[in-house]
Structure 1
Amino acid sequence: MARPPRFDTDQFLDAAVRLAASCGPAGVTMSAVAQAIGAPSGSVYHRFPGRAALLAEVWLRTVERFQDGYSAALGSSADPRTAARAAARHVVSWSRAHPQEASLLLYGAAEFGRADWSEEHRERADLGNQRVFGSLGTLAEALGAGSPQDHERVVLALVDLPLSVVRRHLRAGQPLPAHAEDLTEESAATLLAATRP
């Protein structure tokens, strides 16, 4: 009977998240990941054919976990303004609960080598983005966003603004302040108040 593997895929990806949070994407190498958990280098190559696949998987696992909760928040209420507030809060609360993963997402897919990803990985990333922006579009329509300026306002309120709150503190190596969710929600609601059905 074969022995179960000593290290599983999530252990490698967890190590890659920690490396990315502390050293940026450049710090995520096959050997660094193996060394971080005390695994032989060959075991990393057994799960990931190369560094591009490792970078793709650590990025996609992280962003998909974030997107699952964000999409749920966008659809959390029949009242679009309540759902919008929940989505704005989610960006901050998820980042508070997962600071290393949030630090990773501040870079973007391009910095995680998207140009070298397999077609399957790129399609997976595109589908996730389409799902989120489709949900944002649906919410924007429910809010009465009829003009390009209104759509820009929705993205600013529910994507750019919450990320800016998170980015400033995480880049400075500071914990998110206790008021961050409330401030983000209030600011998003103020922006969206200009959008009327």
Structure 2
Amino acid sequence: MARPPRFTTDQLLDAAVGLAAAGGPAAVTMSAVAQAVGAPSGSVYHRFAGRTALLAEVWLRTVERFQDGYFTALDGADDPYRAAVRATRHVVAWSRAHPQEAALLLYGAAEFGRSDWPEAYTVRADAGNGRVLAAVAAVADALGATGPQDRDRIALALVDLPLSVVRRNLRAGLPLPPHAEDLTEQCTAALLGPPLQPRH
């Protein structure tokens, strides 16, 4: 009977997250991940075809975990206004609960070598991005957005605003302040304006 692997894929990716958060994507190498968990380099190569695959996997696992919670927060077709506010709070709350992952996502997929990813990874990334755009568009439609400016305002409220709150603090090496969620919610509400009658 084959012995179970000593190190799981998630353990290796967790180590990669820590390396990326501390030193950026350049710090994520096969040997550095192996050293971080005390594994032989062969263990890392057994799980990932090379550094490109490792970078793709650590990026995609992180962004997909974030997106899962974001989609759950946006799932409020009965009250799109509350769903929008809840989603922006999620961005901040998730970043507070997962500071290393949030720091990793500040870099963007391009800095994790997206241009060199095999097609399967780029398809997976594009699918996630497409879901976000579709979800935001659905909220905009439900809130009665009637033109490009209204849709841009709602995208600003749901995406750019909460990310700016997170980015400003994390890039300065500061923890998110206790009021970050409330401040984000207040600013989101101001951008969205008074609750509108949802479209049916």
Q: Structure 1: which 4+ aligned runs deviate by more than 6 Å?
A: none
- Give unmatched runs, 5+ long, in structure 1: none
CA distance in 2, matches of 1:27, 1:92: 26
The amino acid that maps onto 2:163 is L
The amino acid that maps onto 2:38 is G
CA distance in 1, matches of 2:64, 2:140: 22
Please report how far the alpha carbon of residue 132 of structure 1 lies from its aligned counterpart in structure 2 after TM superposition. 1.3
Query: Does 2:132 correspond to 1:136?
Result: no
Please report how far the alpha carbon of residue 148 of structure 1 lies from its aligned counterpart in structure 2 after TM superposition. 0.7
| Contact 1:145/1:195 (8 A) holds in 2 | no
TM-score under structure 2 length normalisation: 0.96
CA distance in 2, matches of 1:76, 1:101: 26
Please report how far the alpha carbon of residue 74 of structure 1 lies from its aligned counterpart in structure 2 after TM superposition. 0.8
CA distance in 1, matches of 2:174, 2:88: 20
CA distance in 2, matches of 1:65, 1:39: 25
CA distance in 1, matches of 2:112, 2:128: 16
Identify the residue that residue 105 of structure 1 maps to in structure 2.
105
Please report how far the alpha carbon of residue 173 of structure 1 lies from its aligned counterpart in structure 2 after TM superposition. 1.3
CA distance in 2, matches of 1:133, 1:77: 16
SS at match of 1:158: helix
CA distance in 2, matches of 1:120, 1:8: 22
Please report how far the alpha carbon of residue 195 of structure 1 lies from its aligned counterpart in structure 2 after TM superposition. 8.4
Please report how far the alpha carbon of residue 9 of structure 1 lies from its aligned counterpart in structure 2 after TM superposition. 0.2
**CA-based RMSD:** 1.2
TM-score under structure 1 length normalisation: 0.97
Paired residue total: 197
- Please list the CA deviations of residues 22-77 of structure 1 after superposition, one character each: whole Å capped at 9, or x if unmatched: 00001001111111111101110000001110000000000000000001111135
Identify the residue that residue 69 of structure 1 maps to in structure 2.
69
Identify the residue that residue 159 of structure 1 maps to in structure 2.
159
- Please list the CA deviations of residues 146-197 of structure 1 after superposition, one character each: whole Å capped at 9, or x if unmatched: 1111111111111111001001111111111110000001101100107856
SS at match of 1:170: helix
- Please list the CA deviations of residues 78-98 of structure 1 after superposition, one character each: whole Å capped at 9, or x if unmatched: 111100100110000000000
**Distance verdict in 2 for CA 1:195–1:107, change over 3 Å:** farther
CA distance in 2, matches of 1:52, 1:83: 36
- Give unmatched runs, 5+ long, in structure 2: none
CA distance in 2, matches of 1:9, 1:112: 18
| Contact 1:145/1:196 (8 A) holds in 2 | no
CA distance in 2, matches of 1:195, 1:50: 50
